[in-house]
Structure formats: C-alpha cells, structure tokens
Amino acid sequence: MSRMTFASHPFLLGFEQLDRLVERTAKASNDGYPPYNIEQRRENAYRITLAVAGFREEDLQITVEDAQLVIRGKQTEDISERVFLHRGIAARQFQKSFVLAEGVEVEGASLENGLLHVDLVRSEPQTVVRTIEITRG
C-alpha cells in the first residue's frame, strides 16, 4: 500500500519537492532551545531572532543547505575547571533549521545583546505568460 500525500493529487504535477520539504520540516527538532521569534519586517522581508546568550560570533555558524537555513551553536569555552553553585544558564550546543521558500535569500546576520538576528528577503517572482503553438500530429 502506497502512502498518499497532497503532492500525489493528479492536478499537482511536479510538486514532489514540496512534499519532501514538508516531510523534512516535520522531522525537524521540536526542541524549544534556543527560543526564537520570526517577524515580518516589510512586505517581502523577514527576521529570525534567536536568544543566544553566552554565545560569541565564533560559536555560531549559519549556512543554507538545499533551501534550508541551518543555524548551529557550539560554545568553545572550557568550563571544566569552574565550580557552579547554581547553573541556570544553558550552555549546550544547538541546531535550528528553517525551510526557505523559493526566492527567499539570507540578506545578512548580526549579533547584539545576546540576540542573533538573521534577515531574509524574498525576491518578487516575475510573471511569465507563454503561448504554446499547437502543431498537427
């Protein structure tokens, strides 16, 4: 028995990649660390903000891999010699992934006051109308 998905509908030709993206997103970690916001700044501009207190620029890595924005954090500070009486600040590595729609590009990233901002922009798609000539078979 084959698995039915929305992309298997007969009117949705060529949407197999979208089906794979939805499946990949469902498999992404639902871990709430680090907390993040997604805001729309303008009509075609977005910002993802992650709370990364304690992380330095060199501890963070931002990549785009196959239409997926991946943000990784790994603290390199050696804390093995420190003695904590209470440890409430998380200092663990993380990976957050966001699937990007076609035409969405990373415009830049900045780190200020413990917040990592990743700015995204979507280019306006151009409408293309093409007439197909009918030939005799």
Q: Are residues 56 and 12 in the same domain?
A: no
Task: Output the pLDDT for position 64.
Answer: 95
Q: Are residues 46 and 111 in the same domain?
A: yes
CATH number at residue 84: 2.60.40.790
The number of angstroms, rounded, from the C-alpha of 137 to the middle of its chain's C-alpha atoms is 48
Between the alpha carbon of residue 9 and those of residues 16, 18, 24, the distances in Å are 10, 13, 20
User: Has residue 103 been placed in a domain?
Assistant: yes
Task: Output the pLDDT for position 101.
Answer: 87
Task: Output the pLDDT for position 104.
Answer: 93
Instruction: Please count the structural domains in the chain.
Output: 2
Alpha-carbon distance 102 to 65, whole Å? Answer: 13
User: Has residue 38 been placed in a domain?
Assistant: yes
Strand order in the sheet with 104-112: 36-42, 45-51, 115-122, 104-112
Alpha-carbon distance 93 to 4, whole Å? Answer: 37
Q: Note down the domain range covering 89.
A: 32-122
User: Has residue 84 been placed in a domain?
Assistant: yes
Q: Are residues 41 and 52 in the same domain?
A: yes
Q: Nearest 5°: CA angle at 24, between 20 and 27? A: 145
Q: Are residues 9 and 43 in the same domain?
A: no
User: Has residue 131 been placed in a domain?
Assistant: no
Which tokens hold the place of 126? 């151009």
Q: Are residues 77 and 106 in the same domain?
A: yes
User: Has residue 115 been placed in a domain?
Assistant: yes
Q: The whole model's pTM is what?
A: 0.71
Block mean pLDDT (10 aa), the chain, length 137: 64 70 64 89 95 92 92 79 80 88 93 96 86 88
